């Protein structure tokens, strides 16, 4: 039996009168509401247990509103949605770029409860995407990845989950610097995106972090996609290496124990885990299987992929 979806928490700093009471009646069916009428209680709750969103009546208390904006800025609360509730005549007061940069939406007091509910839901979905996306590549992050894997486990169509990472990336970063390393990661992301989209739209691509990526594609296309990713990466690699390293065919750098030695050049490893409905119960089992496959493929010199063919 599927567990009941947890309601997102919304703080309301609104007057006790219509239309706000009507708004609350509708919203309480889909959200966990907390009403605040004292500014001290609102700010205290915000610090110790921030919600997903705040509905704030602009004319209620301007000083508290300034404190709220300051808190969001100082603590970088990017996942906190501030939705400003305004009278129509107050719109002209929103010319301050600082305010506009810190609030996430506005709603007029003339709005219907249903319009508010839709605007609130859209705002929360948008913030989830923004806060989850990897800042370097713009690709979906770990929250989206877990959801995509859970969805894949229920798919009637056989799929494959590919775990991608770079070999010897630490040595490259140590020699060439983090900026150069970031460029390699961004270009690997582009290779993955273009290669996958050329083959299918029934796919997902996420960025775990660092040089680690995950893709989900139809099982029938997984090996072909992996081969093309490797081919394109190997073709692009010389652009990120100096002539000396290219001619020599390896880096000279310290290993993790601090010993100077020869280290192979950058390469890409792809661990493929086939997914059929009922094969795995949860994403943790997929990750454990992927770790086993990854340990095999990373032992093979150069860029390679390896598919798990176990039942």
pLDDT digits over 287-302, tens only?
Answer: 999 999 999 999 999 9
Say what the pLDDT of residue 76 is. 62
pLDDT digits over 4-21, tens only?
Answer: 568 899 999 999 999 999
**Residue 158, SS3 per DSSP:** coil
Say what the pLDDT of residue 195 is. 95
Say what the pLDDT of residue 75 is. 65
Q: Has residue 128 got a pLDDT over 80?
A: no
Mean pLDDT of 256-262: 84
- Type and span of the H or E element at 31: strand 31-35
Tell me, yes or no, if the pTM score tops 0.85.
Answer: no
Give the CATH fold of the 142-307 domain.
Alpha-Beta Plaits (3.30.70)
Say what the pLDDT of residue 210 is. 95
Domain boundaries, the chain: 8-132, 142-307
Q: Is the omega angle on the peptide bond into residue 19 within 30 degrees of 0, that is, cis?
A: yes
Say what the pLDDT of residue 243 is. 94
Determine the number of helices (DSSP H) and then strands (DSSP E) in the chain.
11, 12
Mean pLDDT of 32-53: 88
Say what the pLDDT of residue 50 is. 83
Say what the pLDDT of residue 2 is. 43
Q: Has residue 1 got a pLDDT over 50?
A: no
Residue 17 Cα distances to 14, 84, 113, 114, angstroms: 8, 17, 14, 18
CATH number, domain 8-132, options 3.30.300.30, 3.20.20.70, 3.90.1150.10, 3.40.50.2300: 3.40.50.2300
Q: What is the mean pLDDT of the chain?
A: 91
Q: Is 177 left (phi over 0), alpha (psi -120 to 50) or beta?
A: left
Q: Has residue 38 got a pLDDT over 70?
A: yes
Is residue 3 very low, low, confident or very high in pLDDT (cuts 50, 70, 90)? very low
CA 129 from chain centre, in angstroms, equals: 6
pLDDT digits over 46-97, tens only?
Answer: 877 889 999 999 988 888 888 888 887 766 677 789 999 999 988 888 878 8
Q: What percent of the chain stands above pLDDT 70?
A: 97
Is residue 135 very low, low, confident or very high in pLDDT (cuts 50, 70, 90)? confident
Say what the pLDDT of residue 217 is. 96
């Amino acid at each position: 039996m599927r567990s009941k979806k947890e309601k997102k928490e919304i703080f309301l700093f609104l007057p006790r009168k219509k239309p706000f009471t009507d708004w609350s009646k509708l919203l309480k069916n889909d959200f966990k509401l907390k009403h605040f009428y004292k500014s001290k209680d609102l700010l205290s709750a915000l610090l110790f247990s921030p919600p997903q969103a705040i509905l704030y009546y602009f004319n209620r208390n301007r000083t508290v509103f300034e404190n709220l904006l300051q808190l969001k800025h100082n603590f970088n609360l990017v996942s906190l949605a501030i939705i400003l509730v305004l009278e129509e005549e107050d719109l002209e007061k929103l010319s301050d770029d600082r305010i506009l940069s810190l609030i996430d939406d506005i709603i007029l007091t003339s709005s219907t409860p249903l319009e508010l509910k839709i605007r609130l839901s859209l705002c929360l979905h948008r913030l989830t995407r923004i806060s989850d996306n990897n800042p370097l590549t713009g690709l979906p992050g770990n929250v989206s990845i877990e959801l995509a894997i859970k969805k894949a486990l229920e798919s009637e169509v056989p799929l494959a989950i590919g775990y991608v990472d770079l070999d010897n990336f630490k040595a490259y970063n140590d020699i060439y610097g983090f900026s150069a390393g970031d460029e390699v990661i961004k270009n690997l992301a582009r290779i993955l995106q273009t290669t996958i989209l050329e083959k299918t739209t029934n796919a997902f691509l996420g960025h775990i972090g660092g040089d680690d990526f995950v893709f989900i594609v139809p099982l029938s296309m997984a090996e072909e996609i992996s081969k093309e990713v490797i081919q394109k990466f190997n073709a692009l690699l010389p652009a990120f290496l100096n002539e000396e390293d290219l001619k020599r065919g390896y880096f000279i750098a310290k290993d993790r124990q601090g010993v100077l030695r020869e280290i192979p050049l950058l390469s890409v490893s792809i661990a493929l885990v086939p997914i059929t409905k009922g094969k795995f119960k949860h994403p943790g089992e997929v990750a454990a299987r992927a770790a086993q496959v990854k340990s095999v493929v990373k032992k093979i010199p150069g860029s390679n992929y390896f598919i798990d063919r176990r039942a």
